[in-house]
Amino acid sequence: MNQIDINGNLETNAEDHYNKPEIFIVKLLSETFDGKTFSDEEIFHNAYTIIVAGNDTSALTVASCCLFLAMYPTIQDKVHSEIAQIFPSKHSPINPDDLKQLVYLEMVIKETLRLCPVAPNIAREALQDVLVDGTVVPKGTIMLMSFYALHRRIDIWGDSAEEFDPENFDQDRAKSRHPFGYLPFSGGSRNCIGMKLDKKCNHHLTNPLSAGWRYAMMSVKIMLVHLVREFKLSTKLTRQDLRYRFDMTLKLAIEHLIINERRQLLLEDEYNSQDDSDSEDICEQLPTIIDQLLRESVDGKPFTNAEIADNAYTIILGGNEPTALSVANACLFLALYPRVQQKLYNEIAQIIPDKSCNITQQTLQDLPYLDMVLKETLRLCPTIPNIARETIRTVSIDGRRIPAGTMFLISFYALHRRADLWGDTVTDFDPERFHPDCGYQRHPFGYLPFSGGARNCIGWQYAQISVKIALIRLVREFKLSTGLKRRDLRFKFDLTLKLAFEHLIQLDRRD
């Protein structure tokens, strides 16, 4: 029992002492490797790996398994019968010994991981020169291996390699297969760390397991036992409907299904009259751009599902995330530079003395310093840091001949930090760079926050209006502050440029 002494201190009996388990991240923070502590980046990557490997992969495996069971009712019935035999009651406890008896369920999971390996590809580096099938692979070569392709090889899995068949993992069939023909968790010394069961955990959970991967699949088995004995799974999808999106993990792509269904509905609408049209909002009858793409064609050919899905992603991404990032970054710079913020506030307060005033196009034109602040924000933090372009014909640049079809990667992030264009204070936040008296000295393509030329951002003007209105509302209502310093800013390069941490801005309402 714990007691509190007269001074209010907690006393703990000796028998209550135990070795508190250490959190892995705390362990990384305190440990060293070759006398050096782990860097923030190394700790971050390890934490991310643990989260993804421990959650996303298990969830995807369960979801894929349920989908296959729904598609193949006969297999589902067989799994249910096996589960009902081992666990006759819905309230029967599930322990590792019982899970080992679910032989057919294990075959179903293995077959699911064959067709849907959660990590479809993996990269490995050659530690020394090796000879593979008569080809010398030099030391340091990075090799990309596709488990997705390996698990569909006809020479390993037969003519029905694309079919879902748990009997592929019948013991007799498995014996005749190459030991490295099935690698859902990779193989060798650098396989999935979840395959290996710590000796202490092994002592508490179960007897030594016959195969290491059982620990990694234990949570999957438990979830499937609960789902299959409680629910009957069904789906309208067929095996031919399945398409996958290759990311860090393999995920089902359903865009084509949604588009196909929407296309059919639009065809039906062409022949159906609308009832009660007078009571409908006129906006509800305006065609969306997706519906327009479904109806339109180019050179007599309709847009493909992939083209429509790509356009939808572009609209969603281009219309929301960059705008939000620009507002957040501008607010952070205003918080870092109080003098700039005060000057902007004075300009806004002069043009918009009343908080309830409407903001018009003329209002925005009367706020030149706001425009300068936004431009400087986009210079240091272009929401799209890099862009790829392909040469449509052979060109000569700086004496070099570049053939047609060459892919270029252009870095706006680097362009906006060139000292020959922006001076020695290139990394400083200074809106005065965009004062009309300074702009004429700069190369016209030295500033490209929205790309340039015929293929620049089609919505850049609308995006700037949205950002400006948001900033007016925020600066007019709140005083922004932060504990961060300019030197603290680090960026993460993704499709969009993001801070490597939260913006950490404090908002205090103005009087």
Helix/strand/coil for 438 = helix
Per the rule left: phi > 0, alpha: psi between -120 and 50, beta: everything else, 125 is beta
Torsion, Cα of 428, 431, 435, 439 (10° steps): 50
Torsion, Cα of 120, 125, 131, 136 (10° steps): 110
Side-chain half-sphere CA neighbours of 7 within 13 A: 3
Buried-exposed string 477-493: b where 16+ CB fall within 10 A, e elsewhere: ebbbbbebeeeebeeee
Amino acid (one-letter) located at 278: D
Closest Cα partner for 143 from 112, 186, 102, 81?
186
Largest CA distance in the chain: 89
Q: How far, in Å, are 409, 411, 412 from residue 418 at the CA level?
A: 17, 11, 10
| CA pair distance 346, 320, nearest whole angstrom | 29
Token digits for 48?
Answer: 């991310």
| CA pair distance 322, 241, nearest whole angstrom | 33
DSSP category for residue 71: H
Q: What are phi and psi of 245, to 5 degrees?
A: -110, 120
Token digits for 208?
Answer: 């030594």
Q: 305-336 and 460-477 helices cross at what angle (nearest 10)?
A: 30
DSSP category for residue 166: G
Question: Under a CB-based contact definition with an 8 Å cutoff, are residues 151 and 165 in contact?
Answer: no
Token digits for 452?
Answer: 């340039």
Segment holding 229, helix H or strand E: helix 213-230
Closest Cα partner for 68 from 32, 37, 107, 101?
107
Rg of the Cα atoms in the chain: 30
Please give the annotated binding residues for heme, written as ranges. Answer: 457
Task: Identify the bridge partners of residue 4 per DSSP, sorted by sequence position.
Answer: 10
| CA pair distance 502, 511, nearest whole angstrom | 27
Question: Under a CB-based contact definition with an 8 Å cutoff, are residues 52 and 194 in contact?
Answer: no
Please give the annotated binding residues, written as ranges. Answer: 457
Question: Under a CB-based contact definition with an 8 Å cutoff, are residues 266 and 294 in contact?
Answer: yes
